[in-house]
Structure 1
Amino acid sequence: MIDPIVEDEVIGREVELARLRSLLEAEGPRVAHLHGVAGIGKTALLRRFVRETSGEAACWWLDCRDFEPTPEGCVGALAQAAGIEAEGLPALLEALAGRAPLGIVVLDSVEAWRLLDTWLCHRLAPRLPDSLCLVLCGRHRPSMSWVAGERLPPPLDLPLAPLADEAAGRLLTRLGLAPAQAAEAARWLHGHPLAIRLAATTLQGRPDHRLTDASLQRVMDELTERYLADADDGRRRLLEGAAVVRRVTVPLLQALFPDLEAEPAYATLHRLDVTEASPDGLALQDAVKEPVAHTLRARDPERFLDYRRRAWQALTRRAAATGSSELWRYTADMLYLIENPVVREAFFPSGAQARVVEPARPVHGAALERIVATHEGEAGGRALLRWWRCHPEAFVVVRDEAGACRGFCCRFDPARVAPECLADDPVTASWQAHLAAEPLPEGRRALFIRRWLGESAGERPGDVQAAAWLDLKRTYMEMRPSLARVYLTVTDLAPYAAVASTLGFRHLATHDVRLDGRDHATAVLDFGVGSVDDWLARLAAAELGLGTGEPLDRDARELVLADGRRLPLTPLEFGVFGYLVDREGEAVSRERLLQEVWHSHYKGWSNKVDAVVAGLRRKLGPQAGSIETVTGVGYRYRAQRPDETPRA
């Protein structure tokens, strides 16, 4: 395996290294953005910089793919990397500054933290002590949050360009090609270091092999095909499996390839020169992963689907044992299995962010009032502006590159706002009535998305709405695992109907509210016992064709009997049955049900659980035996076939 930190990796990067060194100068920039396409050598360059400056500055390095994209996730990960205990961002930065005269915080693969971009720009960066600098390394140019920043000196913008042909030829020679072959191959490799490494591997000892004049993507596809052709069947299978999932672990390999010994298979992958090791497993280089996955999907779609299904099943089995510190890795793994762009783009947009979202401030009041007056009637406008006066923290604004407010979103936890405001607003009063009729289990929270409006488009789809929804996904992550339900309102359901259905929202027609001559429709999304992660698992299962025939209609919150009849469930029945169904075949203790469904830490026997199970069995009728009693433990769910004799 080629060491990603070897000297060869930074041939031809002398100018970029010199520019990075300006971070250590007294009058130098405080923040740097190093960006370029996958495989261009960003991480290798940064590691060289850190190694060369190790005598001058301490460094704390995070791979953002491994940590939750929330402020708490960032602070906790940095504290762990530095080996310190600090509560909150100010205490953390003070502790880091006290560790060394100069310090560098590196956030690698920062595109994985797009949900956190505004916080990084407007909260973390402005609070950096003079002795600390921040380097963000990722695929994309700095977002509008940084370009339009008002409280931060201009960051160092450092795009990583392809290597010149001369440097590419030197690197190929260092990697084993003859000088003439290296010079000829360098002309077609677009100065891309990963392509150069693959070419050195596939062309070595084959002087007659020639590359074609094509785009970088075509060259990568060709090199990857040649690399796979050289691999034996076992390695090829491992590479294909690794291309389907976000990361590879020993248990996941065992699930993907039950006929193989997982530990030796993992060691084989680890030795390959196209894999990267991280604290949470192995991953293929992105520039190789994509061609391998695309080829597998095109040539053998059934095998591609089978790998994804096996991965889903392994992840859902592991979910129950996932601690809070590991929750983000599980979430990211599950998200990777979802191909639906509506879901993937909602969390990790692939393009540049056209608008900046940040907490509203008093200076935005006039713009908010103007937008409300343009798109809302008298009653609706009065309700929104009261929220602005009483709870300005519930608002975020969407700004353009010039800093002008182009829209806003109002969202809040109803348990954390004034009850009289909830009662006086007809929309939130209706939502409160629904919460009273279908209460959440103890410890669970709801999110009210009261309104989003753009200056031009109002509530309709557009760049303001897209930016607001990206910020809402950050709110989802911050509120989990206690977030259980989301309410929102629109006056025109049609533009959102398809997307809302895909995401699992249902229209509560009985809770629609008429204001100013327009119906404000209410839509609700129930996440399930496992909060956001249960929701993502259901979306993935639906996409993968898993879970068909499930006895639980989660959107309607109804029991589906074998004869087609449907029976409503109370919130606790829904929570208990859903938890058991999601863990089919597993014995679940009463204590665990109390903790996960009731959010109670009571230890010992509880009649609460037994009473709910008894109610479920009555409703299940002939299928009551699907909920088995596990003596001395609790309960277990096993699906029954229609012709199966009920179990006692």
Structure 2
Amino acid sequence: MAGLEHAFSGPDDMLVGRETELAHLATLLDETGPAVMWVQGVAGIGKSTLLGRFMRDAARGGARGLWLNGREVEPTPEGFLTALGEAAQTRLDQPRDLAELVHVQQRAPLVIVVDAAESLRLLDTWLRDCLVPQLPRGARLLLAGRHWPATGWLDGLTGREVRVLSLGPLTMSSALQLLERRGFPGVQAAALARRLHGNPLAIQLAAATLPARPDFRLPEASLQHLMDALTDLYLADISDPLLRRLLEGASVIRRITEPLLQAMFPGISSDDAYARLRTLDLIEALPDGLVLHEVVSEALKRSLLARDPRRHSHYRRRAWQALVAQSTTSGRSELWRYTADLLYLIENPVVREAFFPSNRPELVVEPARSDDAASLHAVLARHEGPEGAHALWRWWQVMPEAFLVVRDAVGRCQGFCCRFDSQQAPPGCLADDPVTAAWGRALRDSPLPDGQRALFIRRWLGHDDGECPGEVQAACWLALKRDYMEMRPALRRAYLVLADPAPYSAVAKTLGFQPLAHTVPVDGLEHTSAVLDFGPRSVDGWLARLAAGELGLQDDTAWLDRQAHELVRRDRRVALTPLEFGVLVYLVDHDGEAVSRTRLLEAVWGSDYQGWSNKVDAVVVGVRRKLGEEASCIETVTGVGYRFLSTGISQSECARP
């Protein structure tokens, strides 16, 4: 994501029939052109290829391009500016710092390109309301994504023109031209053009798989079924069985790295595996790993799950183990990559949709303005009693910045959310509100560790639905995930309150919310409070636990502190020697696998160790002694070595706040 030279543009000969679109993009470079342009189109339609060609042409005319891949950018203001600064090879703390880059450009335009913009939905409001208004004269923002931009982009940017370029299928003549360019004779090209939906990626796959099958008749099917069929052919054409396995494994992970390949395919050289995958034309090389085209990846994943669900699960489990091990030692700047990698492993739609929504937003969530007071008052009067309305109105008067407003397509307030960092709220207001007073008592009974924070989600209410599930609630929850991201790694807990928790019970259980012991009476109605304890590793550790639960694994971070090299029990910490820690971590990272003494010697003592293998046995004895009653989690495998079983660790003995 560090600049234009890393942009994936696809084969140049894949760009056919896009002259009109290129001319439309060229208006960005005009002094009187738009400040923002969105390129919208389905996956595989050629957005990245089009943007790459446009930016190469623009660079020849003197323009400077800063290319960001939305999948690689942490969806927070700090994360976006950091990524943009890396692309520009400078430090950017505020959007206004872009003025210096434009000044260096003199009269040539600066174009900020954000590909895969759908991955930055958590950042949508900030991009629109903070970044764009501060774009200096001469700077342009070009975004490309699957979804049509939210209404606020088209109606709410005063003085900033926004244009949308919808990238549709290739025309029949363009598809025919592209097929002929890829080597298909006229008659065959005409037959294929009618079935490939004008999708450039489908044409690329057809060109890679069908020439060797002159008698194969491509069925008339939906684009997804067509891509599945072509991907199966693509996989079948790979003569190297190891490369086929590697490609299948790559389909379950977000990015391909050598450590992940080593974990998923033990016994195979990760260098060799990485080099083999890099030769494939459907894999993009980025600075921090390889990425398989998402459409092909999804097709391969569906095929693998249908054919061999156990292998599909095995790959995901091994990837999770490696990612958790890497994330526990990563720095703040690297943390999002591992968090996004873990999120990719989670298939539960409740969690995936919370961070990466698949649909276009119909409602916009933004900070409340002073002129929203009447609308907020109307929502409170409609759904709250006098006591509840008074408490929330007091928060509006004291901390208006705590309120987010949900707006419809014409800007009307459809609801709100009130949330704030407990440490930033006036103590008197916390004590006067019966709900936050109860949360304060809970925090006193179970104090936060030093340096950690709690998010109070005081209330969300929709104009029509109140606190009930609906579009307003969904929009508020998505906005709250941005708070989660911005407050991590210090965010430890989130508190919320509901008059009727029943509609949310299943989701709350999935996400890990636990009800507090005592309800809170408000307007004569008992309200239920719930708390989500993210754990010592904040949001990242919470996501690791969610993925672990889905994969049938246990998150070792609850009982093993990899940074401190200590076992974490409810009432104490137990230090491990370097050899004990090394042996235990290696066994944990190979959960369920019989590990030989020789492998442990090579991994922990080093490949040049010449001593006796009974050294391993002595260290295992020490680890078991320190594990105490849970020593049975390390099994002896006769004639081989040892096996770690995560099911042997009791989470009830782990340290809790």
TM-score over 0.5 for the pair? yes
Residue identity opposite 2:116 in structure 1 = S
- Normalised by the length of structure 2, the TM-score is 0.84
Aligned counterparts, 1:233-312, within 5 A: 233-312=241-320
- Percent identity between the two aligned chains: 53
Aligned to 1:598: none
In structure 2, the CA distance between the partners of 1:162 and 1:641, relative to structure 1 (3 Å rule), is: closer
**Aligned counterpart for 1:445 among listed residues 447, 453, 466:** 453
Residue identity opposite 1:58 in structure 2 = R
Q: Provide, for residues 11-46 of structure 1, a one-character-per-residue CA deviation record: whole Å limited to 9, x for no partner.
A: 100000000011111221110000111111101111
Residue identity opposite 1:37 in structure 2 = V
Aligned counterparts, 1:41-190, within 5 A: 41-54=46-59, 55-101=61-107, 102-190=109-197
Shifted more, 86-95 versus 119-128: the winner is 86-95
Q: Is the 8 A contact 1:317 1:583 kept in 2?
A: no
Q: Is the 8 A contact 1:488 1:524 kept in 2?
A: yes
In structure 2, the CA distance between the partners of 1:582 and 1:489, relative to structure 1 (3 Å rule), is: farther
In structure 2, the CA distance between the partners of 1:366 and 1:247, relative to structure 1 (3 Å rule), is: same
Q: Is the 8 A contact 1:173 1:179 kept in 2?
A: yes
Residue identity opposite 1:409 in structure 2 = C
Which SS does the other structure have where 1:244 is aligned? coil
Aligned counterparts, 1:349-388, within 5 A: 349-388=357-396
In structure 2, the CA distance between the partners of 1:113 and 1:273, relative to structure 1 (3 Å rule), is: same
Number of corresponding residues: 583
In structure 1, C-alpha distance between the alignment counterparts of 2:555 and 2:83, rounded to whole Å: 39
Whether 1:28 and 2:33 are equivalent positions in the alignment is: yes
Alpha-carbon shift at residue 179 of structure 1 (Å) = 3.1
Residue identity opposite 2:145 in structure 1 = G
Alpha-carbon shift at residue 228 of structure 1 (Å) = 1.2
Q: Is the 8 A contact 1:493 1:521 kept in 2?
A: yes
**Aligned counterpart for 2:540 among listed residues 533, 548, 565:** 533
Residue identity opposite 2:30 in structure 1 = E
Aligned to 1:413: 421
Q: Is the 8 A contact 2:98 2:136 kept in 1?
A: no
Aligned to 2:603: none
In structure 2, C-alpha distance between the alignment counterparts of 1:181 and 1:624, rounded to whole Å: 66
In structure 2, the CA distance between the partners of 1:272 and 1:548, relative to structure 1 (3 Å rule), is: closer
In structure 2, the CA distance between the partners of 1:366 and 1:201, relative to structure 1 (3 Å rule), is: same
Residue identity opposite 2:19 in structure 1 = E
Shifted more, 270-279 versus 171-180: the winner is 171-180
Aligned to 2:3: none
In structure 1, C-alpha distance between the alignment counterparts of 2:420 and 2:574, rounded to whole Å: 24
Residue identity opposite 1:533 in structure 2 = D
In structure 2, C-alpha distance between the alignment counterparts of 1:432 and 1:311, rounded to whole Å: 39
- Normalised by the length of structure 1, the TM-score is 0.85
Structure 1 runs of 4+ aligned residues shifted over 6 Å read: 548-553, 574-577, 581-584, 617-621, 624-627, 637-642
Aligned counterparts, 1:318-337, within 5 A: 318-337=326-345
Shifted more, 53-62 versus 533-542: the winner is 53-62
Alpha-carbon shift at residue 151 of structure 1 (Å) = 2.7
In structure 2, C-alpha distance between the alignment counterparts of 1:327 and 1:277, rounded to whole Å: 20
Shifted more, 397-406 versus 46-55: the winner is 46-55
Q: Provide, for residues 144-197 of structure 1, a one-character-per-residue CA deviation record: whole Å limited to 9, x for no partner.
A: 331341535341110111111221122122222233322322221111111101
Q: Provide, for residues 595-641 of structure 1, a one-character-per-residue CA deviation record: whole Å limited to 9, x for no partner.
A: xxxxxxxxxxxxxxxxxxxxxx99997559999xxxxxxxxx99896
Q: Provide, for residues 556-613 of structure 1, a one-character-per-residue CA deviation record: whole Å limited to 9, x for no partner.
A: xxxxx9xxxxx9x57xx69999xxx9999249xxxxxxxxxxxxxxxxxxxxxxxxxx
**Aligned counterpart for 2:474 among listed residues 446, 459, 466:** 466
Q: Is the 8 A contact 2:98 2:135 kept in 1?
A: no
Aligned to 1:212: 219
In structure 2, the CA distance between the partners of 1:514 and 1:213, relative to structure 1 (3 Å rule), is: same
Residue identity opposite 2:203 in structure 1 = I
In structure 2, the CA distance between the partners of 1:45 and 1:639, relative to structure 1 (3 Å rule), is: closer
Q: Is the 8 A contact 2:14 2:200 kept in 1?
A: yes
Alpha-carbon shift at residue 209 of structure 1 (Å) = 2.5
Whether 1:506 and 2:514 are equivalent positions in the alignment is: yes
Aligned to 1:585: 584
In structure 2, the CA distance between the partners of 1:364 and 1:345, relative to structure 1 (3 Å rule), is: same
In structure 2, the CA distance between the partners of 1:150 and 1:58, relative to structure 1 (3 Å rule), is: closer
In structure 2, the CA distance between the partners of 1:205 and 1:639, relative to structure 1 (3 Å rule), is: closer
In structure 2, C-alpha distance between the alignment counterparts of 1:18 and 1:56, rounded to whole Å: 17
Alpha-carbon shift at residue 205 of structure 1 (Å) = 4.2
Which SS does the other structure have where 2:267 is aligned? coil
In structure 2, C-alpha distance between the alignment counterparts of 1:424 and 1:467, rounded to whole Å: 29
Aligned counterparts, 1:511-530, within 5 A: 512-530=519-537
Which SS does the other structure have where 1:53 is aligned? helix
Shifted more, 115-124 versus 181-190: the winner is 181-190
Residue identity opposite 1:140 in structure 2 = H
In structure 2, the CA distance between the partners of 1:548 and 1:473, relative to structure 1 (3 Å rule), is: closer
Aligned counterparts, 1:606-645, within 5 A: 622=629
In structure 1, C-alpha distance between the alignment counterparts of 2:574 and 2:400, rounded to whole Å: 34
In structure 2, C-alpha distance between the alignment counterparts of 1:515 and 1:582, rounded to whole Å: 51
In structure 2, C-alpha distance between the alignment counterparts of 1:352 and 1:583, rounded to whole Å: 47
Aligned to 2:11: 6
In structure 2, the CA distance between the partners of 1:431 and 1:93, relative to structure 1 (3 Å rule), is: farther
Aligned to 1:346: 354
RMSD: 2.9
